[in-house]
Amino acid sequence: MATESTRRPPGPRGVPIFGSVLDAWRDPVGLLMRSWQSYGDVIGFKFGPFDYVALNDPDAIHHVLVDNAKNYTKSRNYQGLKLVLGEGLLTSEGEAWRKQRKLAQPAFHRERLAGFVDAMVADTRSMLAKWKEIDGAFDVHDEMMKLTFRIVGRTLFSADVEADADRIGPAVTAAIRHANDYAEAIVRLPQWLPTPSNLRFKKALAELDAMVLRIIAERRKPSSTQPNDLLSMLMAAHDEETKDGMSDRQLRDEVMTLILAGHETTANLLSWTWYLLSSHPDVARRVRAEVDAVLGDRAPSIEDLPKLKLVKMVLEESMRLYPPAWAFERQAIADDVIGGYSVKAKTIIGISPYLLHRHPRFWDNPEGFDPERFSAARSEGRPKHAYLPFGGGARFCIGNGFAMMEAQIIVAMIAREHRLSLVPGHPIELDPTVTLRPKHGVRVALEPPAQGATRSATLPAATPPPVAIPLTT
């Protein structure tokens, strides 16, 4: 295919040897935005010895993720995630990934998801009860991290992990930051070197492994009954040829992947949603009115979710502005042509939903917070790959239905009881590592819920927080 074009993607020249890597470290989002404005939707970079092409066009993205997906594998930068997740569903490739995906898929069918609602409601209700004792401001991001961590433990592994939350939260943060730093490094130091970073990571990983292996060991104990959850499905799986079951190491990688992916991204989505709703009280009032009309005083059920239309649109708009999986990559196996440009084998392909979701060709007032843009009428005709909060192609996030159901339930239950008011002066900044976190958390105070609905309007954006985005995650 490469013979169809000899044009290389345009982009900044950078400096000898280093290319644009120093600019990316100093001001990555500025580099990306300036390059997009100067060179278009297919941009070529040199980051040290590596060729990197950033795509910001749905057709070009569709080519990589769907039309010619067999030519692309996860990039070298996923080696950072493998330090934490091993060969789990997120990082594995080829036939091993297909087997893992096939095995895990039934756990996320709608019928199975319906059985998770009670646990989600119970854990959210427990958190709200504890909030009654809060006097003053608190970090709602920390609360969302703990809540989604408890929910993923109960629903996917039938394990009570609440006692681990305070210890595991910092360990997850340290592990993710180390994985990101390793991915960004041009020269990667061996993990056995006793550097401060390696030692911190080793300690964090030991905390995570101890929890996961404890869950596995408890489940392996003889019992007359076994929960019908994802862990039981994984433990019952056997290789079609050897008939061997999963080793503790294989189970560890799958459980670690689902714990981190199943709570980290949803917690970030919820945190940014509370930031946006606090910044736009008109929408917060309309959300409360919808929840009152649909639920009244009762707990939400899975049948209620299609009726909570505004809640869903708010979450979709939150993911547009602040996609938890803000960037992902592929690497070319053989030469290809993308958007009319020649791309050589081994080139890293970068796709940033954070950038794509701000493309004015597909989004009116791209920086504005406008949930109604996800109404059926206004979504008509929008290219499928113009909106990628859960990725695309065959590796579309397996847990998207789980995450959206969980987020709708949590937002509805909290909005009915409280209005979360941002603490004046608290800095809101992006912390884009493997996921897109609020760097300093989101400090809020609890107030009575906003009463009544006001007329629908397209709302202006809050002042965008300053952002620093690494290009290789």
pLDDT digits (tens, 9 = 90+) for 186-236: 788 889 999 999 999 999 999 999 999 999 988 888 876 778 788 888 888
pLDDT at residue 15, rounded to an integer:
93
- Tell me the C-alpha to C-alpha distance, in Å, between residue 18 and each of 8, 25, 160: 19, 11, 48
CA dihedral 314→319→322→325, nearest 10 degrees, is: 160
pLDDT at residue 186, rounded to an integer:
79
pLDDT at residue 1, rounded to an integer:
40
pLDDT at residue 453, rounded to an integer:
43
pLDDT digits (tens, 9 = 90+) for 281-340: 999 999 999 999 999 999 999 999 999 999 999 999 999 999 999 899 999 999 999 999
- Residue found by looking up tokens 């397996």 in the block: 398
Backbone angles phi, psi at 362, to 5 degrees: -120, -10
pTM of this structure: 0.89
Domain ranges of the chain: 2-86+97-447
pLDDT at residue 456, rounded to an integer:
36
pLDDT means over runs of 10, the chain (473 residues): 70 91 81 88 94 96 96 91 90 86 82 89 96 94 95 89 86 89 83 92 93 89 80 79 79 88 92 97 97 96 96 98 93 96 96 95 96 96 94 90 96 96 94 90 90 41 39 39
pLDDT at residue 25, rounded to an integer:
79
Q: How far is CA 461 from the centre of its chain?
A: 22
Tokens found for residue 41: 């939707």
Superfamily of domain 2-86+97-447: Cytochrome P450 (1.10.630.10)
pLDDT at residue 451, rounded to an integer:
61
pLDDT at residue 260, rounded to an integer:
84
Instruction: Residue 95: count other Cβ atoms within 10 Å of its Cβ.
Output: 8
